[in-house]
Amino acid sequence: MRIVGMLVVLIAGAALSGYWMWRRTTATMYYRSANPTIRPSHVTPEEYDAQVIRRRKRVRLLKSAFAAAAGGLLAALLFVLVDSGLSRH
């Protein structure tokens, strides 16, 4: 029963923190700065914007994966602490 509980808590923690980070990084994905950007002269503004969005999507995916791993580990750690009886003393 403890293994099942640990897996449920691990998956729930990972899903919740991964979803939270995904939403947080998506909010600024298409944000355009008011300041002019320095881009190479041979790149059109449309190509540059597409490159920036692709880079932001990669960063969003990596941040979400790391947040999911950290959230799962933190949830598992809290489950172990509560299950071990440390919270009862």
Q: How confident is the model over 45-56, as pLDDT tens digits?
A: 889 888 888 998
The position carrying tokens 């799962």 is 72
73-82: burial string, b at 16+ Cβ within 10 Å, e else: eebbeebeee
Q: Classify residue 20 as exposed, middle or buried by CB count within 10 Å of its CB (0-12, 13-18, 19+).
A: middle
Contact 22, 56 (CB under 8 A): no
**38: confidence class by pLDDT, cuts 50, 70, 90:** confident
- pLDDT value for 88: 60
What pTM, to 2 d.p., does this model score? 0.77
pLDDT beyond 60 at 80: yes
Q: Of the candidates 2, 24, 12, 1, which has an alpha carbon nearest to the alpha carbon of residue 68?
A: 12
- Residue ranges covered by each domain of the chain: 2-30+41-88
Percent with pLDDT over 90 in the chain: 42
